[in-house]
A and B are shown apart, each in its own frame.
Chain A
Amino acid sequence: DAKTTQPTSMDCAEGRAANLPCNHSTISGNEYVYWYRQIHSQGPQYIIHGLKNNETNEMASLIITEDRKSSTLILPHATLRDTAVYYCIVRALGGSEKLVFGKGTKLTVNP
């Protein structure tokens, strides 16, 4: 599975959009981009995933560049409860059985 690079930490004001970047320059054609978050040592929570088209659900939007070498997770109106570690993971659907978590981005939403 391709390796990802994320900033160690980010800050965001409450009510503003939080844009979390992820670089995955070695992504393969059959690999998806997944985002999870972990709030204060709880079990990680699935947020969204995509292949090449932009995706949106009730939690967030995922923007994937045309060359698929990077992506951005967007929380449109961040709240204090969005403070968490956000993980960007690239893996093939039905491929490797292992979901490998890196260090992620610690997002702090400030009042």
Chain B
Amino acid sequence: EADIYQTPRYLVIGTGKKITLECSQTMGHDKMYWYQQDPGMELHLIHYSYGVNSTEKGDLSSESTVSRIRTEHFPLTLESARPSHTSQYLCASSDTNNYGYTFGSGTRLTVV
């Protein structure tokens, strides 16, 4: 039973469209993260949040933006999708002590 949910699972969209990838967790975790992963490649952190109203950029520069208005919700937005944004986006959360990250199933985005 998943405690962190990502929607949609797959998304194919045209260039220039605005998209929002949803991520919600039911564990009450303060910390949430977005990773980007191309097929067969490493995961790269693009955004993270310590809690409500806290957002930080990760190691990999990304044109996406995030918000954290509620503890359980950490959506990622692309204002104008481009083919270079085609990738898998993985959301994760962790508790205060960072004992372990829980990941969602990911959103596989294709921009045509």
Neighbouring B residues of A95 by C-beta, 8 Å: 98
Number of A residues contacting the other chain (C-beta, 8 Å)? 21
Per-position 1/0 for A20-48, Cβ under 8 A of B: 00000000000000101010011111100
Specify the chain A residue showing the minimal Cβ separation from B58.
A98
Neighbouring A residues of B94 by C-beta, 8 Å: 99
**Chain B min CB distance to A55 (Å):** 12
A100 within 8 A of B: yes
B97 and A41 contact, CB distance less than 8 A: no
Query: How far apart sit A57 and B111, CA to CA, in the bound complex (Å)?
Result: 41
Contact-size category for B = 20 to 34
Query: How far apart sit A91 and B105, CA to CA, in the bound complex (Å)?
Result: 24
Per-position 1/0 for A95-106, Cβ under 8 A of B: 101111111000
Query: How far apart sit A98 and B82, CA to CA, in the bound complex (Å)?
Result: 27
A45 and B103 contact, CB distance less than 8 A: yes
A44 and B103 contact, CB distance less than 8 A: yes
A49 within 8 A of B: yes
A42 and B106 contact, CB distance less than 8 A: yes
A94 and B96 contact, CB distance less than 8 A: yes
**Chain A min CB distance to B103 (Å):** 3
**Chain A min CB distance to B30 (Å):** 11
Residue in A46, A94, A102, A103 whose CB lies within 8 Å of B101: A46
Q: Which of B74-109 contact A (CB under 8 A)?
A: 88, 90-92, 94, 96-106, 108
